[in-house]
Amino acid sequence: MIKYITILFVGMLVINGQVMAAEDAESTDHDAHSGHDMDHGDHMMDDSDHSGHDMDHSDHSGHDMGHGDDHGMAHGDDHMMDDHSDHSMMHPGEDGHASHHGDGHHHMDDSHIMDHEGGMIMGQNFDKLPSSCDSISEEVEITVRAGREYANKFPGTMYAFDEQQWHVKPCAKVTWHFVNEDDIRHQFMMHGLPRYMYQNGMFHLEVTGPRTISGTLIVPATDETYLVHCDISQHMEKGMKAQLVVGNGGEDIPSIPGLTPYAFPDTYLHEDLPQVSNEDDDDSLLTQVDEFVTDNTPFSLIALFGVLIGLLSVPLILKLFSFRKNKVEAE
């Protein structure tokens, strides 16, 4: 009798062991994620990564602030306004480096273009060389498409760019053609550029689709990876995120669909949704046996399987114990 109970017990232990192992794997997973300790106050995580490039502000104070040129717009030229002179009068002494709390009503940078339909270009730069560049290395034009359609290939996202990564050479002059295919606003926003020539280190295109807007910038000489995203609430979080790799690039930006893992991924549980039963499965011998066993005994097939394993392993365990015992006795 005791023997049977032991066998059952060992069988259950084996099964439990499996379950616990699965749970363990999950919990260590969580631990790993919580290890990503990020500054909550700073949602643009690349800012700190790139802060090294912003150190030498004073060295470059001789450079002009990059005022927007007003000939970069592909469409809607008639409505274009270049108000930077106007704007600098509005904010005397304002240096654009906004404090955490301030700036509630001073949003626009000095270098920007805006039209009556809400199209915007900020941080455009055609000819001002970053201090690290002797000359422009290459002139490239890149078309970026944005919209819901490009999220289709990434389950669990809603908006995306058509590409998640672009490569250019250091000191390249890049003209971006930003094609918004949705009927809402999207943005092509880059962060972490040198602040002495790009206000807040940003280059920004914004347009309500379906429409295209174009803008040009010159990237610095350093190997670096820049965040590209749409800052409309939840657009980046729901997939509209990419990176621009200059030269050999720097550290990858996290949570780019299909490219880099999410820092804090969701947990997906199996849902018992009604499904049309598959005929092949019905016919399979194993399924039938499982159903039969489940229907006719209080144990599931897997439990019986566990008991079987337990049964087989008992002699082994006993042998192990007796061996130890012998050893102890020998000593």
Partner 1 sequence: MPTHFLIAVLACFFFSATVVAQTSLKLPETIKVVPEALTSEPVCDPIIAASWRDAQEIDGVKIRESRRCNPDNPALIAAVVKGTNNISMATLMETDLSADTIIKEDDIDGDGDPDRITIKLEVMELNGPSPDFEGLIPTFDIAPGIQPGLWVFAPKTRGMSTENFESVRANSLLRLPSPVIRVEVGDTVRLVLENSHYLPHTIHLHGVDHPYAGHGHDGGDGVPQTSESFLLPGGQRVYEFTPRQAGTMLYHCHVQTHTHLAMGLVGMIIVEENRPNNWLQTLNVGAGHVRHPSVAIQEEFDHEYDLHYHAMDKELHEIIQKYNDPRLIARDMNRLYDITDSTEDYYVLNGLSFPYTLRESLIIVEPDQKVKLRVANTASEMLAMHTHGHKATITHYDGIEHNPIAQITRDVYALAAAQRLDLTLNTTDDGLHSYGEGIWLFHDHREKGITNNGMNPGGNVSAIVYKSYLDDIGLPKSQGIDISKYFTEEFHQRKLPVWQDLDASGSLGAAAGQSAPIIDPATRITLIDFIFGLVAGLMLYMLFARREQTKQAMLQVVSKLKGSKGNKAND
208 binds partner 1 (CB under 8 A): yes
> To the nearest whole angstrom, how small is the minimum distance from the Cβ of residue 259 to Cu ion?
18
Q: Which residues contact 60 (CB under 8 A, 6 or more apart)?
A: 131, 194, 196, 197
- Contact range with partner 1 by CB under 8 A, out of 7-15, 23-31, 108-116, 215-223: 108-116
Rounded Cα gap, residues 193 and 319, in angstroms: 69
Rounded Cα gap, residues 31 and 33, in angstroms: 5
3 binding partner (options Cu ion, partner 1, none; Cβ < 5 to 8 Å by kind): none
Q: Is 147 exposed, middle or buried (0-12, 13-18, 19+ CB in 10 A)?
A: buried
141 binds partner 1 (CB under 8 A): no
Q: Which is nearer to partner 1, 221 or 253 (CB)?
A: 253
In the set 61, 99, 275, 296, which binds partner 1 (CB under 8 A)? 99
In the set 173, 186, 191, 204, which binds Cu ion (CB under 5 A)? 186
Q: How many residues bind Cu ion (CB under 5 A)?
A: 5
48 binds partner 1 (CB under 8 A): no
Q: Which residues contact 270 (CB under 8 A, 6 or more apart)?
A: none
> To the nearest whole angstrom, how small is the minimum distance from the Cβ of residue 95 to partner 1?
13
Rounded Cα gap, residues 70 and 179, in angstroms: 19
Q: Which residue has the tokens 């306004």?
A: 81
- Nearest alpha carbon to residue 64 among 145, 125, 121, 12: 125
Rounded Cα gap, residues 226 and 239, in angstroms: 16
Of 275-314, which residues contact partner 1 (CB under 8 A)? none
Interface residues toward partner 1, by CB under 8 A: 36, 38-45, 47, 81, 83, 86-87, 90, 98-108, 114-118, 120, 147-148, 155-159, 182-185, 189, 191, 200-202, 204, 206, 208, 231-235, 237-238, 254-255, 262-266, 268, 271
